[in-house]
Chains A and B, each alone.
Chain A
Amino acid sequence: MHAEPVPSAGTARSLLALRHALADPLSSASLKLDLVERRLAATDPDVPALLERVRAVKHDLSAAGHILDLLLRLAEILAEPPQAIALSELCAQAGVRPAAESLPSTVLLRRKATAEAVRHVAGFLAARTRAAAAPLARTSVRDGCVTLTLEAAAGMEPTGEEFIPARLLSLPPGLEGAEGLYTARAVLEADGGRFDLDLRDERLIAEFSWTAPTEGT
Chain B
Amino acid sequence: MNVLVVEDEPRVRKSLLELVQELGHEASAATSVADARDALARTAPDVCITDLGLPDGDGLEVVRAAKAGRRDCAVLVLTGQGSVLSAVEAMKAGAHDFLLKPLKPAQLASALAHLANRHDEPRSDEGLVVGDFVADGRLGEMVGRSPAMLQLFRLVTRVAPSDAPVMITGDSGTGKEVAARTIHLLSRRARGPFVAINCGAISPTLVESELFGHEKGSFTGADRRRAGTFEMAAGGTLFLDEVTEMPPELQVKFLRVLETRTFRRVGGNEELDVDVRLIASSNRDLNEAVRTEAFRSDLFYRLNVFPLRMPPLRERKADIPALANHFLLQIEEKERSGFKTLEPGALAAFTRYDWPGSVRELRNAVHRAYVLSDPPAVQAEAAEAVLDGSGAAVKPVPPPDSVDDTWPAVPVRVGERLDAVERKLLTATLSAVKGDRRVAAELLGVSLKTIYNRLKQYGMEK
Contact = CB atoms under 8 A, between A and B. Distances in A.
Interface of A: 16-17, 19-20, 22-28, 30-35, 38-39, 61-62, 64-66, 68-69, 72-73, 76, 93, 95, 112, 115-116, 119-120, 123, 126-127, 130, 132, 157, 174, 176
A112 to B, nearest CB: 7
CB-CB nearest 6 A-B residue pairs: A34-B105, A31-B15, A26-B102, A23-B101, A20-B80, A28-B11
Nearest to A95: B248
Contacts of A17: 81
A28 B256 CA distance: 23
Contacts of A116: 248-249, 252
B18 A25 contact: no
A64 B101 CA distance: 12
Given A24-B9, A69-B82, A176-B267, A38 B22 contact: yes
A19 B53 CA distance: 14
A126 B101 CA distance: 34
Nearest to A25: B11
B205 interface: yes
A86 B56 CA distance: 48
Given A65-B104, A69-B82, A72-B82, A24 B12 contact: yes
A93 B249 CA distance: 11
A157 B18 contact: no
A69 to B, nearest CB: 5
A74 to B, nearest CB: 12
Interface in B9-37: 9, 11-12, 14-16, 18-19, 22
Interface string B248-268: 110010001001101000110
A3 B271 CA distance: 36
Given A20-B80, A23-B101, A116-B252, A31 B259 contact: no
Contacts of A39: 22
Contacts of B105: 30-31, 33-34
Given A69-B82, A95-B248, A24 B101 contact: yes
B314 to A, nearest CB: 37
Nearest to B51: A24
B406 interface: no
B390 interface: no
B293 interface: yes
Given A34-B105, A35-B15, A116-B252, 5 more contacts: A24-B12, A66-B260, A68-B102, A120-B252, A127-B205
Given A65-B104, A123-B249, A27 B12 contact: yes
A9 to B, nearest CB: 15
Interface in B270-291: 271
Classify the interface of chain A: helix, strand, loop or mixed.
helix
Contacts of B101: 20, 23-24, 26-27
Contact of A176 (B14, B53, B259, B266): B266
B103 A120 contact: no
A31 B16 contact: yes
Contacts of A76: 298
B82 A27 contact: no
Contacts of B262: 66
B81 A16 contact: yes
Nearest to A26: B102
A42 to B, nearest CB: 9
B249 A157 contact: no
B117 interface: no
Contact of A27 (B15, B106, B248, B271): B15
Contact of A119 (B22, B53, B248, B260): B248
Nearest to B18: A35
B219 interface: yes
A33 B271 CA distance: 17
B248 A69 contact: no
A31 B293 contact: no
B19 A112 contact: no
Contacts of A27: 12, 15, 101-103
B124 interface: no
B220 interface: yes
Given A24-B9, A27-B101, A35 B19 contact: yes
A19 B80 contact: yes
B269 interface: yes
A130 B80 CA distance: 41
Contact of A19 (B81, B103, B269): B81
Interface string B230-263: 0000000000000000001100100010011010
Nearest to B105: A34
A109 to B, nearest CB: 15
A24 B102 CA distance: 6
Contacts of A126: 205
Given A69-B260, A95-B248, A132-B205, A35 B22 contact: yes
